[in-house]
A and B are shown apart, each in its own frame.
Chain A
Amino acid sequence: MKPIDIPTFQPQLKVLSREQALAIHTAALKILEEIGFKMEHPGALEMLANAGCQISDDWVRLPGHLVEEALSSAPRQIDLYDHKGKKAMPLTNGNHFYGTGSDATFTLDLETGERRRAILKDVANFAKLVDGLENIAFAMSMANPEDVPVEDIYVYVFAEMVKNTNKPIVFIADSGRDIAKIYKMACLVAGGEDKLRSKPFILNYSEAISPLHFPKNVMEKLIFCAKKKIPLCLPSGSNAGGGAPVTLAGAMALGIAENLAGLVVHQLAGKGSPFLFGPNVSVLDMKSTVVSYGCPEWSLTQAALADMRDEIYGLPIWAFAGASDAKVMDAQAGAEAMFSILSAMLSRCNLIHDVGFLEYGSTSSLEMVTMVNELVAMSRFFAEGIPVNNETLALEALERVISGGPGSIFLTDDHTFKYFMQAQFLPKLLDRSRYDSWEEAGATDLYKRCNIEARRILSEHQVEPKPAEVLQGIAGVLQGH
């Protein structure tokens, strides 16, 4: 038989035509040129003025050509490394990486199942769990702990993450003051400024305020990262009906405009520094006024953004998935998590955060992160498509079984033994056992199984510890040295 060599088609989701993408982009440029934005950082205002923006007080109108220049100088690939300098997340093309979120006020207690205020120990647990889950690529704090000094809350959670994972970290800071402390710790971990710069394991998440408002403290962080070449993203909350128009196209145009304005300042402050593109465009729920983490709109707008990346921007993008508005890890949580996980993957989003959130991002759940780990594996199996070649078409195996006489079945054929692990998705937590065995094993639901698995990982998984001098240095930064 002649060998068949066909590339495997990767299933993909496309939600915008080129014409639609260009129209949204044009609207974004129009927002910057004609409406303008409020910039409260004097240094940024000066850079923008020198670059040719029209400025009155703190209101800026930005010509489109500056956007084009910024887009062409920002790198098209951002590589994030683990804490030892090994490449972990090449953010480019359609590569996808899932990770946790930040700043949840509450967490579901692993022992009691109750929702309670988050503490620093929770940050450690989430980081450790991320470290032990093969499909979760990066860590965020998952908590605003109540047991640390609030003015240094982001410094404490960063230190806690560093101690409990070696995977890349997406971090939050409040202003130029605490980001300098966090940077100091990151340098200790990486082994110096140069090493951190060439092989960054951190990415800063900062937010402008929709509509069109760039506060001073936010721009301090952006300029800091641009100068130090620390990768950064700047999604504003241009949520449909909240910070932005209720219609998704308008909300996207606004969010993109805000990102482009941020990108221009960023590239003026540090030409060629890495900028992860993309707004957060969810919806403000019209009954509860929460920003939804389980809605189809957010998945749709980030799929649209991925199309715009392919058509126009070329920069890796920021996205969300694996979260829910449900208050407990129930069927709603599973449905909403899977909807966003699969659609983010099929639309080829790059850095995908917020896995493990319940209650529209207010509550974190270790069980939910554990479930998402499995759902990512399931989605990945789907997204890899169907390899078609002589071995997978398996006519020879069929011939053997047919001609093998009575008792000859595929299950005993060598072809099955050789390929079953890759030919099928083998779930670990999703239950396919027969009823009786399920009952005998305790008749557990997925939440319970995820709870057991999360506990197992937290008790068994060993995080490679940081060297003593690094830990000492971190303690020093926390003590204000």
Chain B
Amino acid sequence: MNEFEALAQAVIKGDIKTAVAETQRALDGGSEAKSILDKGLIAAMDEVGDRYSKGLIFVPQMLRSAKTMQECMKLLQPLFQEGDVTSKGKVLIGTVKGDLHDIGKNLVGMMMGGAGFDITDLGVDIPPEKFVQKIQELEPDIVCMSALLSTTMPSMSRTIEAMQKAGVRDKVKVMIGGAPVTEKYAREIKADSYASDAGSAVSKAKELLGAL
């Protein structure tokens, strides 16, 4: 990532001002948006993800880097060419019906966004039919469902059933998570994947799409 070294370092540090200035400088110098994204921003975020998983940095630092990347993306977005692949995959995320706890879900959404996924956050207390409707409308690659309470976990299974009935289950990968959720439960309700925390949600999502 030599030519965008200063940009990458600014993203890693979470220095929004410098990163935006460096993005603008790269554009002014004739670099293509796609190449700034891939070689500058994504490369930096991969490094951030790596540092986080090694325990070298903390969550707020990683989220700050993600925010820095998003600020830079605002400059790049209008300049992408048709056919540029600018996302690792489209992700739909929400807490299931009955569950109003959203800290974990928000964190997963932000981390996945930082890792280059295109996130649509449906919010909290999302009924099965709404998930289905949004799947039909947005055609995501992955649907992420979260529940904090064991009493709301059955909504996950009901949502998957609704997807089956609507004939969209096979078109998406389903990932679930939340404090009471287990790997075993994910298997039982025939979700494709379970992530125990936001960091592993990112790597599981990458795995899932690799298998698509």
Contact = CB atoms under 8 A, between A and B. Distances in A.
Interface stretch (A196-204, A285-293, A309-317): A285-293
Given A286-B58, A289-B107, A151 B151 contact: yes
B168 interface: no
Contacts of A289: 59, 104, 107, 197-198
Contacts of A286: 58-60
Nearest to B60: A286
Interface string A143-173: 0100000110110000000000000000000
Given A150-B150, A287-B55, A289-B59, A243 B197 contact: no
Given A287-B55, A287-B59, A215 B151 contact: no
Nearest to B55: A287
B66 to A, nearest CB: 14
Interface string A75-118: 00000000000000000000000000001010000000000010
Interface in A275-289: 284, 286-289
A153 B58 contact: no
Given A105-B180, A144-B180, A150-B151, A215 B103 contact: no
B1 to A, nearest CB: 26
Contacts of B180: 103, 105, 144
A117 B184 contact: yes
B153 A150 contact: yes
Contacts, number: 44
Interface residues of B, number: 20
Interface in B153-212: 153-154, 179-180, 182, 184, 197-198
B39 interface: no
Interface residues of A, number: 23
A213 B107 contact: no
B100 interface: yes
A370 B103 CA distance: 34
A150 B154 contact: yes
A328 interface: no
Nearest to A360: B179
B151 A153 contact: yes
A288 B103 CA distance: 13
Contact of B150 (A105, A284, A288): A105
A422 B60 CA distance: 51
B101 interface: yes
Contact of B58 (A151, A154, A215, A287): A287
B103 A242 contact: yes
Interface string B105-123: 0010000000000000000
A362 interface: yes
B202 to A, nearest CB: 13
A236 to B, nearest CB: 11
Q: Which 6 A-B pairs have the closest CB atoms?
A: A286-B58, A144-B150, A174-B151, A105-B180, A215-B100, A286-B59
Interface of B: 55, 58-60, 100-101, 103-104, 107, 149-151, 153-154, 179-180, 182, 184, 197-198
5 contacts: A103-B150, A144-B150, A153-B151, A287-B55, A288-B197
Given A105-B182, A144-B180, A151-B151, 10 more contacts: A105-B150, A151-B154, A241-B60, A243-B103, A246-B60, A286-B58, A286-B59, A289-B59, A289-B107, A362-B179
